[in-house]
Amino acid sequence: MKRYSAFAIAREAFRQHRGWTHAWASPEPRAAYDVVIVGAGGHGLATAYYLGRNFGITNVAVIEKGWLGGGNTGRNTTIIRSNYLQDPSAALYEKARSLFETLSQDLNYNIMFSPRGVMMLAQTEHEKRGYLRTERANALQGVETRFISPAEVRKLVPIINLAGPRYPVLGALWQPRAGTARHDAVAWGYARACSAMGMHIIEQCAVTGVETAGGQVSAVNTTKGTIGCKKLGIVVAGHSGALADMAGFRLPVESVALQALVSEPIKPCMDVVVMANTVHGYMSQSDKGEMVIGGGADGFNNYTQRGSWHHIEETVRALVETFPMISRLRMLRQWGGIVDMTGDRSPIISKTPLGNCFINCGWGTGGFKATPGSGWAMAELIARGEPGPLAAEFSMTRFREGHFIDESVAAGVAH
Ligand SMILES: Cc1cc2nc3c(=O)[nH]c(=O)nc-3n(C[C@H](O)[C@H](O)[C@H](O)COP(=O)(O)OP(=O)(O)OC[C@H]3O[C@@H](n4cnc5c(N)ncnc54)[C@H](O)[C@@H]3O)c2cc1C
């Protein structure tokens, strides 16, 4: 792998950029690998990366049915925060957020992490009490958050309408080192680093079946043939139920489309992320100037990666009352991604009924922010066969045992 640096850019400028090589290789699959990971989204690629970096396991294939990062990784609104209520979630999301701080340097790839600050508006007394509780929980967990007054909200976001026709802004939960990153660069950076370690990233290759013998996975059937494996990691977000079905077990997840939209680009007007969960909408401004707007999840299970009119109407109505100046903006595009929701709105990083098969799913509407931490925890689980401290509470059996990690407030509307 050629290192990217200011010197490399200067050198290539002098030779008409003829020296750049592909960021990652596109090999044909081998007959078998030590570890096969299904799904080349951010989480699957991060799992492969930390398997190599933390455990020296590099005979790994990441199999992707479409193009790398083309699932939810390339469709999300890029919000990164760790202000969750429950201890296991705060630990996992804060681990991820702290890894984001140095990820560009670690991967030698600019993932454009922008710790610009995220605020979650309190617009009812109930919501305010909830955020004050989270602020105190975060203080005990070592997560830096602060409940700020309406005057401080106005100072940080001059374009906001504090009086709101329906719900006035009563304050906000503010996390100053939260922010955004370039979503597909996260996938590309991990892919490049995995490829440099000799791992195979196999795109345009769908897994169509899982072969088992004696309670263990022996191979996966794919559109490019059968590929043997000693261990299997399933990291396919909205398609987790379908993969679990192939492997012969059931998961407590539902798949729904979650939607988002962006406006035409405008001059810089807001340099933090604002989430308005009571009226149901959130917004940030991309480096190109587009307002990136998060919408809602469909109220019914489906696999359509499309947007719909009623979500535009609902989301834009919420945001126009919060930021009246956006009422004249034109919308550029709208899309959907299939997210995998659990009943307690917390993820699953778990062993499965098959001895050498592990699953990472259930990130629902908010898994982008967890990408490095999720990969770190999943790599540990695959390498050791047992969950480490980060994943210990996120077993799929918790739903049977009643050990829910209830994040319906931190992760219901907010992403
Ligand atoms: C509109 C929207 C907004 C969001 N906003 C945020 C946000 O602001 N902040 C946040 O933290 N999270 C957000 N999320 C959630 C976040 O995008 C996801 O939780 C996260 O990206 C999941 O990553 P992943 O790698 O697990 O999944 P994905 O990126 O979906 O990767 C899974 C991959 O598996 C592949 N796959 C599926 N089936 C097969 C098969 N049979 N064979 C081979 N490959 C297969 C898919 O093609 C896909 O590429 C949002 C999601 C959406 C849809």
| Ligand 1 pocket check for 232: Cβ under 6 Å | no
Q: Which two tokens mark 140?
A: 């005990």
Type of residue found at 241: G
Supply the residue whose CA is at minimum distance from atom 52 of ligand 1. 76
| Ligand 1 pocket check for 180: Cβ under 6 Å | no
- Could you tell which of 93, 236, 243 is best to mutate to test the pocket of ligand 1, judged by most ligand atoms within 8 Å of the CB? 236
Q: Which two tokens mark 217?
A: 């996975």
pLDDT for res 413: 55
CA of 338 to the centre of ligand 1 (A): 7
Q: Is the per-residue pLDDT at 412 higher than 60?
A: no
Per-residue confidence band for 165, with pLDDT thresholds at 50, 70 and 90 = confident
pLDDT for res 272: 98
pLDDT digits (tens, 9 = 90+) for 31-85: 999 999 999 999 999 999 999 999 999 999 999 999 999 999 999 999 999 999 9
- 115 CB contacts (<8 Å, ≥6 apart)? 101, 176, 177, 178, 179
| Ligand 1 pocket check for 374: Cβ under 6 Å | no
Q: From residue 363, how far is each of 27, 176, 341, 360, 404 by CA, in Å?
A: 30, 23, 7, 8, 14
* Average pLDDT rounded to a whole number, residues 357-367: 97
pLDDT for res 400: 93
| Ligand 1 pocket check for 372: Cβ under 6 Å | no
pLDDT for res 376: 98
Q: Is the per-residue pLDDT at 411 higher than 70?
A: no
CA of 343 to the centre of ligand 1 (A): 18
CA of 340 to the centre of ligand 1 (A): 9
| Ligand 1 pocket check for 295: Cβ under 6 Å | no
| Ligand 1 pocket check for 206: Cβ under 6 Å | yes
Mean of per-residue pLDDT scores for the chain: 95
| Ligand 1 pocket check for 62: Cβ under 6 Å | no
* Average pLDDT rounded to a whole number, residues 116-142: 96
Q: Which long-range contacts (CB under 8 A, 24 or more apart) does 205-212 make?
A: 205/29, 205/63, 205/64, 205/65, 206/65, 207/38, 207/63, 207/65, 207/243, 207/246, 208/246, 209/246, 210/243, 210/246, 210/247, 210/248, 210/357, 212/247, 212/248, 212/354
pLDDT for res 304: 86
CA of 129 to the centre of ligand 1 (A): 32
pLDDT digits (tens, 9 = 90+) for 250-301: 999 999 999 999 999 999 999 999 999 999 889 999 999 999 999 888 888 9
| Ligand 1 pocket check for 38: Cβ under 6 Å | yes
- Could you tell which of 76, 188, 190, 220 is best to mutate to test the pocket of ligand 1, judged by most ligand atoms within 8 Å of the CB? 76
**Beta strands of 73-134 (E only): which ranges?**
79-80, 118-122
pLDDT for res 309: 82
Secondary structure (3-state) at 154: helix
CA of 358 to the centre of ligand 1 (A): 17
| Ligand 1 pocket check for 368: Cβ under 6 Å | yes
User: CA nearest 32: which of 231, 255, 240?
Assistant: 231
pLDDT digits (tens, 9 = 90+) for 289-343: 999 999 888 888 989 888 888 888 889 999 999 999 999 999 999 999 999 999 9
